């Protein structure tokens, strides 16, 4: 089910919490952040009280959803310079070398089904998802090809103001949304435990839409997860598509 959420024009706030890159080494305390802690300056209820993402009986399957509040609170616009040999140009997350204007945002993908998303080893030729993996020389590990799709739409909802790109993800347990323990998914054995989420911070390469040349004004930010429908999600009660109005430049209160 895709019940697309479109907010009227939302004034996005600059996130006050910075995240380190996924390609670096982390201690378990660094990576396993309890999400009952207030993220990005926004109030967020603890899991067992008023969680917006209750786990439900999905026949033992995963159900994935984007944390919309984290995405909206983290968004900002920066200008960065890229060389002609940059990984970002090679991987298609920017339109050209030089100075690029980027709309950045966090994407946290929570698994709210009552079963794990088990993807497995990218190097196992018998893995049923083996063909979905691509090795990223820039990141030094395997990703799920085309896992997310980012676009900036015009308000008519049919024309695209800025094509994003199909961002590849290495799926692993980063943030706890529930009360259970992680089953230890990493880039070497990929997946997301029920009640946990993978997190791609806006500070990571490609976690943006290149809006170079896009006029200031009102648009719709479109984010789709499991965009290629690679993984079964059973009833799929939580949306794979999230859309929200955004004003460029981002207004800060």
More confident of the two residues 24 and 218? 218
pLDDT bucket at 78, cuts 50 / 70 / 90: very high
Q: Would the pLDDT of 23 be above 80?
A: no
237-253 pLDDT, tens digit per residue, is 998 999 999 999 876 55
Predicted local distance difference test score (pLDDT) of residue 46: 31
Can you give the residue ranges of every domain in the chain? 32-37+53-248
Residue-averaged pLDDT of the chain: 79
Q: Would the pLDDT of 53 be above 90?
A: no
The length of the chain in residues reads 253
Percentage of residues in the chain having pLDDT higher than 70: 78
Q: Would the pLDDT of 30 be above 80?
A: no
In a 13 Å sphere around the CA of 127, the CA atoms on its Cβ side amount to 19
163-215 pLDDT, tens digit per residue, is 877 777 789 999 999 889 999 999 899 999 999 999 999 998 889 999 999 99
Percentage of residues in the chain having pLDDT higher than 90: 60
pTM over 0.85? The answer is: no
Which alpha helices (H) appear in the chain, and where do they start and end? 28-31, 47-50, 68-74, 87-91
CA distance 44 to 110: 15
The strand pairing partners of 245, in sequence order, are 9, 220
83-126 pLDDT, tens digit per residue, is 999 988 988 899 999 999 999 999 999 999 999 999 999 999 99
Q: Would the pLDDT of 3 be above 80?
A: no
DSSP code per residue over 1-23: -------SEE-PPPPS-----TT
Q: Which residue has the tokens 């089953």?
A: 183
CA 43 vs. chain centroid, Å, equals 20
Residue in 176, 196, 46, 45 with CA at minimum distance from that of residue 116: 196
């Amino acid at each position: 089910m895709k019940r697309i959420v479109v907010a009227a024009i939302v004034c996005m706030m600059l996130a006050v919490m910075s995240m380190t890159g996924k390609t670096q080494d982390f201690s378990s305390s660094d990576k396993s952040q309890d999400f009952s802690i207030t993220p990005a300056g926004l109030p967020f209820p603890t899991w067992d009280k008023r969680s917006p993402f209750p786990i439900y009986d999905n026949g033992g399957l995963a159900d994935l959803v984007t944390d919309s509040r984290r995405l909206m609170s983290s968004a900002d616009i920066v200008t960065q310079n890229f060389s002609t040999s940059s990984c970002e140009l090679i991987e298609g997350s920017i339109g050209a070398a030089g100075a690029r204007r980027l709309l950045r945002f966090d994407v946290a993908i929570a698994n709210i089904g009552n079963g794990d998303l088990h993807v497995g080893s990218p190097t196992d030729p018998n893995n049923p998802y083996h063909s979905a993996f691509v090795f990223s020389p820039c990141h030094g590990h395997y990703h799920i090809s085309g896992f997310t799709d980012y676009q900036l739409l015009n308000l008519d909802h049919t024309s695209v103001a800025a094509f994003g790109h199909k961002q590849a993800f290495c799926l692993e347990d980063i943030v706890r949304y529930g009360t259970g323990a992680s089953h230890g998914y990493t880039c070497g054995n990929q997946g997301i435990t029920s009640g946990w989420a993978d997190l791609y911070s806006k500070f990571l390469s490609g976690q943006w839409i290149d809006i170079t040349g896009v006029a200031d004004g009102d648009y719709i930010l479109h984010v789709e997860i499991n965009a290629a429908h690679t993984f079964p999600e059973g009833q799929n009660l939580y949306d794979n598509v999230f859309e929200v109005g955004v004003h460029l430049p981002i207004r800060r209160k």
